[in-house]
């Protein structure tokens, strides 16, 4: 038996040592209190895939447009960089941070946490990195960005002739592998292995 | 009330790793996180960020979000103009997405946060469980109000044809971005356990 409390309603709960299912919910408010286990090697592979997909995103164009014989194409970074140059650095930074920088940081943090644990080490920094991961998760918005690209395409399609670039296909996969990685990751499992800070 | 909470038992929960400590502990001995029985200044900060978010929502909805500059002249549009444009052209799906993400979600978030704060303020015990469910909902959908900011950012970056056609962001974009950030911070600094605290027998 392990004593804990619900993080959403505060009630004291005793977690049974052997859960009947892999998840345990709060008896009062039904918040998810505990999950058991996680597929280490699959998460690591997915996180590496996400990082590899990020590389072509930096140079492949997501869209190209033609207006009356003029041509314009841009990668995600170019599109956002133009925004910085035109005097909207705050909005550009917010987009770059939540859609690209934070997701990549999250994947790196996950690898730094999971690889040593998987190999049987218990480095002290894991706890600190995990808290950074928690904060970054609140602000990572890849899935929102993906839908916003779709909306932008529809809005632009009645202004100009539009061609989808390979960067967009890569970004769709990037968003999908990112999402799967964070779904599979289970922080409870880190603490179940305890003795991290000893 | 059969439920005993952490305050009554003189315990404090680490919200990072869920380890339970004696109330005297300051930092978690398992993950090193700071320990607080309730998030510090939760009510004060929530009120502050919710009201600021509400203030920024007004210019965000009334001023133009982006301006399309072309040889045909300047065309400035607010968020609702965009929605109405898609309704006229028959693109109901996209009109719905933009309306839901940019108009409904931000106002819904602010209303729910105000409702939660009022539940605590007026001690409406019967509304606790409903309040918690709404809190979980806005926590889940909150990010989506960033959608229109991203759309504007993308379009400005993509449409650059010098004098032929360019798109620049309008004054509403900044206000809207601030409103979204404020409401997101408001839900993060709020502590849902405060709702249930008024249900406990002994109060500290
Ligand atoms: Zn609970
Ligand atoms: Zn802890």
Domain spans of chain A, in order of start:
1-35, 38-196
CB atoms within 10 A of CB A137: 14
Q: What is the ipTM of this complex?
A: 0.87
The mean pLDDT value for A83-99 works out to 85
Q: How many helices (H) and strands (E) does chain B have?
A: 8, 6
The whole-number average pLDDT for the span A47-72 is 89
Compute chain A's Rg from CA coordinates: 21
Task: Give the whole-angstrom CA distance, residue B199 versus residue B2.
Answer: 11
Query: A98 CA to middle of ligand 2, Å?
Result: 26
**How close B132 gets to chain A, by Cα (Å)?**
8
Instruction: Check whether A196 has a pLDDT greater than 90.
Output: no
**Interchain contact, A10 vs B143, CB within 8 Å:** no
- A-proximal residues of B, 82-101, CB under 8 Å: 82, 89, 91, 94, 97-98
Mean pLDDT of A138-150: 91
Binary contact (A67, B7; C-beta < 8 A): no
Contact B146 A144 (CB under 8 A): yes
Asked whether the CA dihedral A96, A102, A105, A111 is positive or negative, the reply is negative
Average pLDDT of span A81-97: 85
Q: Is the pLDDT of residue A197 over 60?
A: no
How much is the average pLDDT of B159-184? 86
Cβ neighbours of B120 in A, within 8 Å: none
- Tracing tokens 């890569």 back to the chain, one arrives at A170
Cβ proximity of A12 and B6 under 8 Å: yes
- If you measure from the C-alpha of residue A154 to the centroid of ligand 2, how many angstroms do you get, rounded to a whole number? 46
DSSP secondary structure letter of residue B4:
-
Ligand 1 centroid vs A18 CA: distance in angstroms?
Answer: 20
B15 to chain A: closest CA residue: A7
At which residue do the structure tokens 């305050």 appear?
B7
Q: Do A81 and B16 touch (CB under 8 A)?
A: no
Residue A195: the pLDDT is 47
Picking from B68, B160, B169, the nearest residue to A88 by CB comes out as B169
Ligand minimally distant from the alpha carbon of residue B20: 2
Q: Rounded distance, CA B96 to CA B83, Å? A: 8
Bridge partners for A74 per DSSP: A63
List C-alpha distances in Å: A160 to A153, B162, B186: 10, 14, 40
Cα-based angle A178, A182, A186 (whole degrees, multiple of 5): 160
- Cβ-defined contact of B153 to A3 (cutoff 8 Å): no
Position B204 scores a pLDDT of 45
- Chain B residues lying within 8 Å of A179, measured CB to CB: none
Asked if the Cβ–Cβ distance from B16 to A130 is below 8 Å, we say yes
First-residue to last-residue Cα distance in chain B: 16
- d(CA A185, ligand 1 centre) in Å: 22
Q: Among all ligands shown, which has an atom nearest to the Cα of B34?
A: 2
| B75 three-class SS | strand
**pTM, to two decimals:** 0.89
Rounded Cα gap, residues A33 and A13, in angstroms:
9
How far apart are alpha carbons A104 and A2 in whole angstroms?
35
Ranges of H-type helices in B63-104: 79-88, 92-98
- Give the pLDDT score at A193: 66
Q: Alpha-carbon distance B169 to B155, whole Å?
A: 9
**Gap between the Cα atoms of B151 and A153, Å rounded:** 9
When pLDDT is averaged across residues B176-198 and rounded to a whole number, the result is 94
Mean pLDDT score, B43-50:
97
How far B84 CA sits from the closest chain A CA (Å)?
13
- Residues A3-55 have pLDDT tens digits of 899 999 999 999 887 777 788 999 999 999 999 889 999 999 999 999 999 99
Closest partner residue to B13 (CB to CB) among A7, A29, A91 is A7
Beta carbons of B193 and A188 less than 8 Å apart: no
**C-beta atoms of B174 and A187 within 8 A:** no
Q: Are strands B73-77 and B66-70 parallel, antiparallel or unpaired?
A: antiparallel
| Cβ-contact B182, B53 below 8 angstroms | yes
**Selected residue of B30, B132, B150, B170 to mutate for chain A interface (largest A Cβ count, 10 A):** B150
Q: What are phi and psi of B67, to 5 degrees?
A: -120, 125
Distance in Å, CA B19 to ligand 2 centroid: 6
Contact B189, B45 (CB under 8 A): yes
């Amino acid at each position: 038996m392990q004593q804990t409390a619900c993080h959403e309603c505060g009630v004291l709960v005793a977690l049974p040592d052997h859960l009947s299912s892999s998840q345990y919910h709060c008896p009062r408010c039904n918040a998810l209190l505990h999950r058991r286990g996680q597929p280490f090697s699959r998460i690591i592979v997915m996180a590496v895939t996400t990082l590899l997909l990020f590389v072509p995103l930096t140079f492949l164009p997501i869209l190209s447009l033609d207006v009356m014989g003029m041509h314009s194409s841009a990668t995600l970074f170019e599109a956002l960089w133009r925004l910085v140059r035109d005097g909207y650095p705050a909005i550009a930074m917010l987009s770059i941070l939540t859609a690209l920088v934070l997701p990549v940081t999250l994947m790196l943090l996950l690898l730094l946490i999971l690889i040593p644990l998987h190999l049987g080490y218990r480095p002290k920094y894991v706890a600190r990195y995990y808290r950074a991961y928690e904060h970054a998760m609140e602000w990572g918005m890849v899935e929102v960005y993906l839908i916003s690209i779709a909306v932008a395409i529809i809005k632009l399609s009645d202004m100009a002739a539009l061609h989808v670039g390979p960067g967009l296909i890569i970004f769709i996969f990037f968003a999908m592998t990112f999402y799967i990685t964070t779904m599979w990751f289970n922080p409870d499992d880190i603490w179940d292995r305890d003795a991290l800070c000893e | 009330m059969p439920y005993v909470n952490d305050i009554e038992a003189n315990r404090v929960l680490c919200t990072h790793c869920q380890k339970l400590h004696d109330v005297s502990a300051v930092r978690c001995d398992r993950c090193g996180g700071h320990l607080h029985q309730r998030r510090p200044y939760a009510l004060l900060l929530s009120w502050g960020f919710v009201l600021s978010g509400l203030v920024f929502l007004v210019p965000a909805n009334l001023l133009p979000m982006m301006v399309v500059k072309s040889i045909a002249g300047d065309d400035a549009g607010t968020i609702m103009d965009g929605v109405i444009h898609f309704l006229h052209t028959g693109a109901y799906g996209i009109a719905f997405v933009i309306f839901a993400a940019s108009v409904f979600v931000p106002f819904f978030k602010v209303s729910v946060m105000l409702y939660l704060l009022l539940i605590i303020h007026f001690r409406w015990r019967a509304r606790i469980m409903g309040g918690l469910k709404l809190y979980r909902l806005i926590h889940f959908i909150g990010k989506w109000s960033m959608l229109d900011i991203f759309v504007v950012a993308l379009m400005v970056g993509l449409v650059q044809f010098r004098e032929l056609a360019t798109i620049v962001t309008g004054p509403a974009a900044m206000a809207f971005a601030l409103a979204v950030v404020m409401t997101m911070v408001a839900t993060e600094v709020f502590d849902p356990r405060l709702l249930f605290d008024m249900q406990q027998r002994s109060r500290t």
